[in-house]
Structure 1
Amino acid sequence: MAQLCLDQLLSNRKTSSLILINDSIRFSALPLLYEFSQRALDTDQQIITLLTETSPTAWLQTFNNNKNKIHIIDAFSDPLGWELDSPIIYEKDTQGGGSLVRLTRLPDFERHVLPLLMDWIKKAPATLIMVDSLTPLTRISSHRTYQFVKALESLTTETIRAVVGYHADIRPMIDNKTMIHQLPPLSDSLNRLASVVMTLEQLKAPTAQTETQARLTGFVAQDTFSYLHTTSNQVTRGGVAKIEWRRKSGKVIYETNGFLLDNGRLVVVPASQLGVQEQDENEESDDDEKNNKTDTPDPTANLSFNLSLTDEQRKTKENLVLPYLKAQQVEIDGSTSSSTSSSGGAIYYEPDAADDFDDEDPDDDLDI
């Protein structure tokens, strides 16, 4: 059985430079970010994490081993410098031997974050760069956020990859209203930049009424509009990840996978196991093909003459052997095929001196 795309990305079985996780208020990207980090630690990789919406203490409590390979840039505790005036505070050997840098001037995030990333990357051949959420950075500048992600993508190699989270349901703020129609949405720009785009969705909450209606009529009613449901962010129940993976060969893979939390670890399962219908987006279903054939107009209809063939005419056409399709067989060793006529024409050609071409001078016969 082929391995699911989400499991390949989590285990880093195949190279993927920049992974963008589009989440929403209904399902957060944090469970996947934790699993990406834990599997990287299991393979002895270094982790560099920029936390903008997550407490460093809560982040470190999730991991049990190799905490000395975790480097954290804390942009959550004091992003506006209300407590400390220094732009960065560097702490070593905190809660397991890792490094912790407190960023107290978030508006200057590129100037402080990128040098730290480059310094830590030089110390380890295999590194996973994590950003829990880009949304706080977009409130400062959407353009600078895009340039920052582009800089992260430029740092990736075969052994260095980046995983960033983005709240796709929150529209970034635009200071200059005249630029609204000139700039593309940030989400579209990030989707084009990433090699893997992952969109998270929650499972629909089944009820007795909807299940009975679906079983009797085959019709499933749509959920009423609401921001949150009782099943929102329930990782133990499961979630859905719609993946668009652009490979280096130019091939694009579309796949829908399910995942759930089991014994503290994220397990990837087929979407059908969670009750989600899977359909290959690269191929049309049989019903669509039938509808396309039915809806296609017939160009031979309503003509004053007939362009179609009857069954008898079509059979006669298929059995007709045209003269140029008869293969000529040359006599070999004094014998000929019984199907070949004894009479026939043949062409014999004897090259003369002028036809003796020289491979080193193919234009020797030209009188120049």
Structure 2
Amino acid sequence: MLRSVSSILTDTSRMIAIYHDDVPDADAFHPDASKPYATHSLAHIAHTQILVKNSERIRQEQDDVRNGVVARREFAYLTPFSNAWESVVCEVEHKRRSGKVARESSAYQLTSPTGPLKVVNVWEVAGEMPDIERLDLEESQTVDPTANLSFNLNLTEEQRKAKSETVLPYLKTQESSGAIYYEPDAGDDFDDDDPDDDLTI
């Protein structure tokens, strides 16, 4: 299948495929070490991969990891929240021709099945805020340390004008590189013989 798909893809043709990762295939029940999973193969040949995850499933996976070893369940794809439409997490991975990979994660909420999409932070629907986003949020909510000072750090218009008109000492940059000027002297002793001539074998 992958060979036929790869032969179709050219610079002038594109293919969009939808693959349901939660529906198992035959390889999931009888894994073969010599055959890669279909998800891995499709991700390898795809330039852009959009992965849509159910937020309830992500929460369940996080709880399983916190509780300890995650055991493989039979019929794990049949869950009570398989068809939950309230919120999803969308992860986009785009591979450029230069080799750079761009990734972006977004979360969407719906108030009704036919209502508009609302873009929110991933941790709002996934349950746990990452450490980096938590630090950024705390830094944005911290009080400005210059707010309650007994002196003023701001410049007035006159001070700002005087600062811009102040001439600072500086040196002109040299456009040419360094040069050595040598003037021969009458007393210079030049020897045409090579001093290392006796070292040659």
TM-score (norm 1): 0.27
TM-score (norm 2): 0.44
Q: Which has the higher strand share?
A: 1
Which structure has more relative contact order (CA 8 Å, sep 6+)? It is 1
